[in-house]
């Protein structure tokens, strides 16, 4: 038998399939880029495809982590892309108005302004969903659509470019040989895990998403919890917005964070959190976001024509989702096992003798 | 005597869940035209056996033969097409659709791809009519009480065959706890229908915790214990005492013991006082006193307002009149939080939809109420949490005794115990139990009733709702009688109070 209990336990782990897909995708790159896994040190900075994947994937990881909590409560947040744009627009326009763009105080104040705007967006979403009882997909659609317009208003429809060295650090700088973004992401993920698993927030979020009525009857203040996760999600999107605008030193109200909400939702789903709410996995989401970023990278390295790369992406996503589905796995991989079961000759169930049933006591015995 | 060939034969059926062997090589057979009871305590494997039979769970071992042919169903639809129809314990219909739509869902009469609504309603009405039920098929299912919804589920299930002859395509009809939410008249209605179908040659598999009903309707029975077969008997060959001993594996005189406990404990001072509390359309304004350590039983027919009264006392529904005072302080009752803060706990009759979070573990479900009260910033310390959970798993004998098990995989009785544990660790002053023994076996029933007695002795007040009058009589100090969404009487329990007295009170309530 090839399936030992340990292997089985491993394949049943909720992170197994996302991680397996991630590794497979990474390996696919090797024939096209033989030094794919190598990491070089140049000018005291680490360079390499792996580092780039994490660097470019950072905003997505941030947005997806926030999205995970929203989805766990049974909601969804479509507005994160617009929040990315608003935050970037506000921060950059504030910096560009100052005479000394390199002053630390200016940069901190600018980031504060951007993040406060993000929090306000989150409060609005939370208010509509939790207090007004509007369906999350509709409630967050408002900022998704209107938010881009707001970002355009802030930037006057232009792309604002800035020249601020300190601000450049967040999305494009290096620290301790690694891109600074990676530290920001690590910090946010760590804070999220601590916030959800070291306090009771994770449990209450899962309870609200798993059974809203039961949660109400058990005394959970779900309104507060929901507002909190929408604010948290917007805050994550805000940080991602800082990162994106910092990386390009520009605020583009039109294109910053465009469609990132869909990638984030996908990352959450690939990471094993169900869209119906309930159980969530931050680790799964991080892996899911890395899968999507690796996929984007792979599309470039193996030279998929640009016109078809969305189709290619869709195909891979379908495969990942199918692999995640227990039903599909059973159909494809379980075929051999179920044939064994229906095979008439060795059909005797594997049972210890002691557990074998007594024959039924009736007037006529079952003939064997 | 020669027996006909079984329509269904299951041999050596094995089903495992992570950490649990739910079925350990069970043999089961069903003959055409018989009504066969599947009996066992909670967690004995009844529901699992049914789910394996109907294709909900895949088999882990053993064989199934239908009409002598090997069969393995990988989906409920397949089983249904092969002639095995099932009505589950929980009604699996769409409450927002009409009765007719529910009956015909998935097999609507069509012409040129369009549904013939008129014909569908007409045929549904005929079907319902032929089965002697008074249901408006055009009304949404949700406008009917749970009991009627259950009947609709049965109508749907027997109507799955040829539309012109209900039941003709159905070889095996599985009824999983169909009577647990029906009142006596509805049960009789169901039995009439079951007999009619069995005369037509349908084999009926009947799962019920009501032993009297099994003796009333069934021909043969199969008894399970801990996932193993303990015997197959003709009903006339085995008396109830023998059956109970088979089910629990030991002689049972615990119920007698419980009887001696009755009313020994006294009651203390006033705890809860409701004045003019009511909600239009749910329950007429009522006054109610509950003293410390008092068990107040609520008796009344299904739909008489028992649950509605309890929900108002918990703030689950907002009252539109009246006041509640708990321990001398007035409580606003605008949300469950208010009641919980005042020491009230509520175990809903709908465990699955209003009680448990099925995706979470036993441990998480147990600490949920306590944690909600502490707020998210103050998690229960791990050591204290594990100790509390272990203590209650042991005290209530929750099986499997694994705090990591998903609650959704537990049997009904164990789910009920998890729900009880959740509220007991909050040490409430008033515990509201709405149908705590519904759908659970005799052993667990007795345990829960004993628990109520001992809680009341320790000074906890209990509001106890049960459809079985005997249960209310056995446990209560005082009995509140409801009729037509009105609290019509309040009787001090004593030797002179019997089920008859209560029924008379319910009947005479009409003249008040």
Q: Return the number of CB contacts < 8 Å for A and B.
A: 144
Question: Minimal CA–CA distance to A86: which of A138, A168, A144, A128?
Answer: A144
User: What 3-state class would DSSP assign to A213?
Assistant: helix
pLDDT at residue A301 in the model: 83
How far, rounded to the nearest angstrom, does the alpha carbon of residue A306 sit from its chain's CA centroid? 24
Q: How confident is the model at residue A344 (pLDDT cuts 50, 70, 90)?
A: very low
d(CA B437, CA B440): 6
Q: Which of A357, A358, A361 to mutate to test the interface with B (most CBs of B within 10 A)?
A: A357
pLDDT tier at B27, thresholds 50, 70, 90: very high
pLDDT of B464 > 90? The answer is yes
Res B412: pLDDT? 81
pLDDT reported for residue A3: 60
Contact B255/B446 with Cβ under 8 angstroms? yes
Instruction: Name, in order, each residue with C-beta under 8 angstroms of A87's C-beta and a sequence gap of 6 or more.
Output: A114, A115, A117, A118, A237, A238, A241, A242, A245
Given this model, what pLDDT does residue A2 score? 54
A354 has a pLDDT exceeding 80: no
Q: Are A272 and A324 in contact (CB under 8 A)?
A: yes
Q: Is the pLDDT of residue A337 over 70?
A: no
User: For the ranges A314-328, B392-406, B407-421, which has the lowest average pLDDT?
Assistant: A314-328
**Of residues A199, A218, A360, nearest to B229 (C-beta):** A360
The predicted structure's pLDDT at residue B265: 59
- CB atoms < 10 A from the CB of B100, how many? 25
- Name the pLDDT band for B208 (thresholds 50, 70, 90): confident
Residues of A in contact with B354 (CB under 8 A): 213-214, 217
Query: What percent of chain B has a predicted confidence (pLDDT) above 70?
Result: 91
Overall average pLDDT of the B272-279 stretch:
93
pLDDT at B250 > cutoff 70: no
- Split at pLDDT 50, 70, 90, the class of A358 is very low
* B352: nearest CA partner in chain A: A214
User: What is the per-residue pLDDT across B29-39, written as a single tens digit (0 to 9) for each?
Assistant: 999 989 999 98
Three-state secondary structure call for residue A293: helix
Q: Do B372 and A279 touch (CB under 8 A)?
A: no
- ipTM > 0.85? no
* Most confident segment among A199-208, B98-107, B347-356: A199-208
**Cβ-defined contact of A199 to B377 (cutoff 8 Å):** yes
How far apart are the C-alpha atoms of B139 and B127, rounded to whole Å? 15
pLDDT, residue A362, reads: 38
> With 90 as the cut, is the pLDDT of residue A107 above it?
yes
Contact in structure between B225 and B399 (CB atoms under 8 Å): no
- pLDDT score of A214 more than 70: yes
- Give the lowest-confidence range in A340-349, B64-73, B208-217: A340-349
The predicted structure's pLDDT at residue B42:
67
Mean of per-residue pLDDT scores for chain B: 85
pLDDT tens-digit map of A239-251: 999 999 999 999 9
Residue of A nearest to B235 (CA): A362
Confidence (pLDDT) at A181? 94
Question: What's the CA gap between B53 and B68, in Å, rounded?
Answer: 15
Mean pLDDT, chain A, whole residue set = 86
Residues of A in contact with B62 (CB under 8 A): 347, 349
CB contact under 8 A, B357 and A207: yes
Lowest-confidence range among A165-174, A353-362, B418-427? A353-362
What integer pLDDT is reported at residue A364 of this predicted model? Answer: 37
- CB A249 within 8 Å of CB A140: no
DSSP-assigned letters across all residues of B137-200: TTSBGGGS-HHHHHHHHHHHHHTTS-TTSTTTT-SEEEEESTTTT--HHHHHHHHHHHHHHHHT
Query: Measuring CA to CA, which residue among A316, A317, A338, A341 is closest to residue A327?
Result: A338
Residue A351 confidence (pLDDT): 35
Weakest mean pLDDT among A186-200, A271-285, B464-478: B464-478
- Asked whether the CA dihedral A5, A11, A12, A14 is positive or negative, the reply is positive
| Shortest CA distance from A203: residue in chain B | B364
Over 80: is that where the pLDDT of A56 sits?
Answer: yes
Q: Work out the pLDDT band at B493, boundaries 50, 70, 90.
A: confident
- Between A353 and B311, whose confidence is greater? B311
Residue A341: pLDDT over 60: no
Least confident of A233-237, B87-91, B185-189: B87-91
């Amino acid at each position: 038998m090839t399936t030992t209990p340990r292997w089985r336990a491993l394949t049943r782990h909720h992170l197994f399939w996302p991680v397996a897909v991630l590794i497979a995708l990474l390996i696919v790159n090797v024939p096209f880029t033989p030094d794919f896994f190598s990491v070089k040190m140049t000018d005291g900075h680490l360079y390499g495809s792996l580092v780039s994947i994490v660097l470019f994937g950072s905003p997505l990881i941030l947005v997806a982590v926030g999205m995970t909590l929203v989805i766990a409560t049974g909601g969804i947040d479509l507005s994160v892309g617009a929040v990315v744009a608003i935050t970037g627009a506000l921060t950059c326009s504030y910096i560009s108005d100052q005479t000394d763009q390199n002053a630390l105080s200016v940069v901190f104040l600018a980031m504060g302004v951007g993040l406060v705007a993000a929090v306000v967006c989150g409060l609005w979403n939370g208010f509509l969903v939790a207090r007004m009882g509007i369906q999350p997909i509709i409630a967050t659609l408002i900022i998704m659509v209107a938010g881009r317009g707001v970002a355009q208003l802030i930037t006057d429809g232009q792309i604002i470019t800035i020249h601020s060295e300190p601000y450049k650090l967040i999305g494009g700088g290096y620290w301790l040989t690694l891109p600074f973004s990676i530290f920001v992401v690590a910090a946010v993920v760590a804070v999220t895990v601590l916030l959800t698993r070291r306090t009771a927030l994770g449990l209450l979020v899962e309870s609200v998403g798993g059974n809203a009525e039961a949660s109400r009857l058990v005394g959970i203040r779900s309104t507060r919890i929901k507002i909190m996760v929408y604010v948290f999600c917007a805050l994550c999107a805000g940080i991602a917005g800082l990162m994106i605008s910092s990386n390009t030193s520009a605020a583009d109200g039109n294109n910053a964070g465009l469609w990132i909400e869909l990638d984030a939702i996908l990352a959450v789903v690939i990471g094993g959190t169900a869209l119906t709410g309930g159980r969530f996995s931050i680790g799964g989401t991080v892996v899911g976001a890395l899968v999507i970023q690796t996929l984007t990278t792979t599309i470039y390295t193996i030279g998929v024509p640009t016109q078809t790369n969305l189709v290619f992406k869709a195909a891979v996503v379908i495969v990942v989702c199918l692999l995640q589905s227990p039903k599909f796995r059973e159909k494809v991989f379980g075929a051999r096992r179920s044939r064994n079961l229906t095979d008439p000759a060795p059909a005797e169930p594997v049972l210890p003798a002691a557990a074998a049933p007594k024959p039924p006591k009736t007037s006529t015995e079952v003939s064997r | 005597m020669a027996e006909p060939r079984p329509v269904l034969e299951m041999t050596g059926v094995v089903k495992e869940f992570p950490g649990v062997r739910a079925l350990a090589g069970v043999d089961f057979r069903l003959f055409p035209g018989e009504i066969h009871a599947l009996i066992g305590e909670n967690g004995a494997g009844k529901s699992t056996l049914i789910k394996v039979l109907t294709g909900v769970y895949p088999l882990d071992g053993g064989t199934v033969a239908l009409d002598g042919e090997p069969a393995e169903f990988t989906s409920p639809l397949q089983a249904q097409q092969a002639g095995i129809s099932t009505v589950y314990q929980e009604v699996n219909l769409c409450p927002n659709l009409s009765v007719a739509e529910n009956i015909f869902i998935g097999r609507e009469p069509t012409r040129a791809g369009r549904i013939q609504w008129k014909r569908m309603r007409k045929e549904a009405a005929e079907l319902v009519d032929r089965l002697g039920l008074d249901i408006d098929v055009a009304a949404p299912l949700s406008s009917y009480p749970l009991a009627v919804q259950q009947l609709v589920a049965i109508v749907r299930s027997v109507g799955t065959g040829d539309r012109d002859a209900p039941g003709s395509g159905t070889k095996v009809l599985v009824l999983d706890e169909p009577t647990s939410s029906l009142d006596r008249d509805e049960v009789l209605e169901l039995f009439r229908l079951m007999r009619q179908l069995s005369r037509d040659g349908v084999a009926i598999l009947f799962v019920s915790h009501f032993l009297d009903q099994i003796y009333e309707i069934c021909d043969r029975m199969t008894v399970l214990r801990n996932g193993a077969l303990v015997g197959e008997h003709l009903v006339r060959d085995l008396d109830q005492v023998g059956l109970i001993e088979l089910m629990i594996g030991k002689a049972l005189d615990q119920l007698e013991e419980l009887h001696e406990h009755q009313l020994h404990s006294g009651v203390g001072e006033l705890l809860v006082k409701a004045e003019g509390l009511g909600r239009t359309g749910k329950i007429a304004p009522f006054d109610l006193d509950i003293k410390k350590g008092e068990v107040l039983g609520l008796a009344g027919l299904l739909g008489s307002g028992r649950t509605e009264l309890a929900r108002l006392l918990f703030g689950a529904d907002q009252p539109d009149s009246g006041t509640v005072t708990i321990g001398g302080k007035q409580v606003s009752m605008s949300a469950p939080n208010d009641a919980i803060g005042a020491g009230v706990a509520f175990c809903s009759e709908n465990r699955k939809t209003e009680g448990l979070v099925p995706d979470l573990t036993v441990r998480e479900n147990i600490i949920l109420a306590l944690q909600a009260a502490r707020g998210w910033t103050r998690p229960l310390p791990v050591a204290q949490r594990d100790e509390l959970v272990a203590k209650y798993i042991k005290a209530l004998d929750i099986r499997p005794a694994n705090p990591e098990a998903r609650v959704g995989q537990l049997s009904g009785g164990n789910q009920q115990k998890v729900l009880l544990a959740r509220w007991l660790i909050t040490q409430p002053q008033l515990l509201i139990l709405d149908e705590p023994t519904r759908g659970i076996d005799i052993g667990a029933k007795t345990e829960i009733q004993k628990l109520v007695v001992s809680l009341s002795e320790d000074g906890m007040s209990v509001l106890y709702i049960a459809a079985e009058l005997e249960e209310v009589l056995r446990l209560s100090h005082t009995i509140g009688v409801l009729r037509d969404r009105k609290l019509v009487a309040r009787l001090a329990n004593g030797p002179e109070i019997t089920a008859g007295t209560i029924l008379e009170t319910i009947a005479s309530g009409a003249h008040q």
